Structure 1
Amino acid sequence: MDHVLTLIAPPGALTPALVTRGRDALRALAAETGAAAWLGEAEAADIPFAGIAPDQASAAATAALSDAPVDAIAQGAEGRRKRLLVADMDSTIVTSETLDELAAYAGLKEKIAEITRRSMNGELDFAAALRERVGMLRGLSVEALERTWEGTVLTPGAAVLVATMRAHGAFCCLASGGFTFFTGRVADRIGFDLHVSNTLLEEGGKLTGAVVEPIFDRDSKLATLKRLAAERGLPMAATLAVGDGANDLAMIQAAGLGVAYHAKPIVAAAARARVDRNDLHALLFAQGYARADFAAA
């Protein structure tokens, strides 16, 4: 079989009956299917298939399992384990939008969060929206950055994702439209090889309301993915990109496996692979790692 459909659910939620429903959805499209292989008991399973395109398979399985907490990712069977990971930070590797949380210390969280929401859904130019939001924080004590970091929570599976991929020879990069204050700390905590993002300017212990130019944005993320792949002699097919916002879409679409993670509507609609109902362990299952292969974080 030249393709594989991976069904992923929260631990204990993927029953044999659900796997059968997923397989039957492919057969209804005249696909040839093989026996399912469990990657994690009651959690993830691979269904080999041939005769239909991956996007047809994932759409059919998703529709057939719409009443269950299952994500369905279909792709080529070869080359599933990627050798380069480029991951967004906010609402992907961490659970929050760090700029919005920082804004709370200026009493502006609701106002700035609305700009963030519109920017991440592609309604506003990212760079202009970032400058506007940072400008509103002029005069805020840099101590607020540390307090924001203290409340920042890693997304479940983030550390295991990076540890497992690195243990199998992959290079892992955190690429964020957020700020180096946070990306550096996240990278250190869970072992990213590299982090790239924007830098807040400060003076006298207070934010100036500006960032270092040029702004690290959608095009920068795509360029980072391509540059890191080229430096390592990797084809784009060997890369994995994951994110949730409009500034992630270009790299998601360019990567061999591009995943929209609990993404904004514009991103979810355009991505070839989606994780809507699971945590970041799903990215390992999608690459064919079994639960027993996961590295300790």
Structure 2
Amino acid sequence: MPDARFLVVFDADSTLIRNEVIELIADEAGRGAEVAAATEAAMRGEVDFAESLRSRVAELAGVPLTAFERVLARIEPTPGGRELIDAIHARGGIAAVVSGGFHEILDTVAPSLGVDVWRANRLAHADGALTGVVNGPIVDAAGKAAALREWAEQHGVPMSQTFAIGDGANDLVMMDAAALGIAFNAKPAVRAQADLVVGPVDLAEVIPLLP
């Protein structure tokens, strides 16, 4: 792919999609409420993200891989997301997603929305079911910022032409690394530290900010 004019990196859960995927998977195990509460605490920044993710994924042990079809059917793209990604491409930009969620879902959702490149966590499985463990290094706040820098370098985009859009505390390092950090559908701590806050839950609101 030739060099791009600019790079926009999205968080996935509650940003590019309306859902928190780990909660949908937890519903399949009958543990949705407990995992939802833990996710909320992590997004507010009250607990360490990686530690919280490991404990929440442990609750998913035993969920059959066939459940992913039901989870995918429940995914709701955020209004305006496809329009924003189309506008990014029309202006010569790259649309990327880095998520504390999971490749098992993002590998279907991201290309369906026109995303160019994405990175997320992977869930370990055996005998057709989840084992309750994350495979490999966890994509945490530092990992999100590292992905943004790596993609900018790969695509010849100066850091001055990078955008990061997120909602949770684990997006703040990435948002700080980008030239413009945009809080979208965000928790109070994230709105307070962002360069810009988008109020309506409509990603098309970001289009006028594109170069």
- Answer whether TM exceeds 0.5 for this pair: yes
Q: Is the 8 A contact 1:93 1:158 kept in 2?
A: yes
Structure 1 residue 256, shift from structure 2 partner:
1.4
Q: How does 1:1-297 map to 2 (within 5 A)?
A: 83-287=6-210
Higher helix share: 2
C-alpha distance in 2 between matches for 1:273 and 1:105: 36
User: Which blocks of at least 5 consecutive residues in structure 2 are unaligned?
Assistant: none
| Equivalent position amino acid for 1:199 in 2 | R
Structure 1 residue 181, shift from structure 2 partner:
1.2
Give me the identity figure in percent.
40
C-alpha distance in 2 between matches for 1:113 and 1:200: 18
Q: Is the 8 A contact 1:261 1:275 kept in 2?
A: yes
Q: Is the 8 A contact 1:158 1:280 kept in 2?
A: yes
C-alpha distance in 2 between matches for 1:156 and 1:255: 23
Q: Secondary structure at the match of 1:199?
A: strand
| Equivalent position amino acid for 1:249 in 2 | L
> Can you list the C-alpha shifts for 1:65-89, whole angstroms capped at 9, x where unaligned?
xxxxxxxxxxxxxxxxx61011100
Structure 1 residue 235, shift from structure 2 partner:
2.1
C-alpha distance in 2 between matches for 1:106 and 1:232: 40
> Can you list the C-alpha shifts for 1:97-150, whole angstroms capped at 9, x where unaligned?
010111111111110000000001100111111100111111111122210111
C-alpha distance in 1 between matches for 2:111 and 2:174: 23
Task: Name the TM-score, length of structure 1 as normaliser.
Answer: 0.68
User: Which blocks of at least 5 consecutive residues in structure 1 are unaligned?
Assistant: 1-81, 289-297
C-alpha distance in 2 between matches for 1:139 and 1:187: 26
| Equivalent position amino acid for 1:139 in 2 | G
Between the two proteins, the alignment pairs up a number of residues equal to: 207
Structure 1 residue 231, shift from structure 2 partner:
2.3
Q: Secondary structure at the match of 2:75?
A: coil
Structure 1 residue 278, shift from structure 2 partner:
4.2
Question: Aligned-pair RMSD on alpha carbons?
Answer: 1.2
| Equivalent position amino acid for 1:138 in 2 | A
C-alpha distance in 1 between matches for 2:177 and 2:45: 18
Q: Is the 8 A contact 2:103 2:120 kept in 1?
A: yes
Task: Name the TM-score, length of structure 2 as normaliser.
Answer: 0.94
Larger relative contact order (Cα-Cα within 8 Å, sequence gap ≥ 6): 2
| Structure 1 runs, 4 residues or longer, greater than 6 Å off | none
Q: Is the 8 A contact 1:163 1:190 kept in 2?
A: no
Structure index of larger Rg: 1
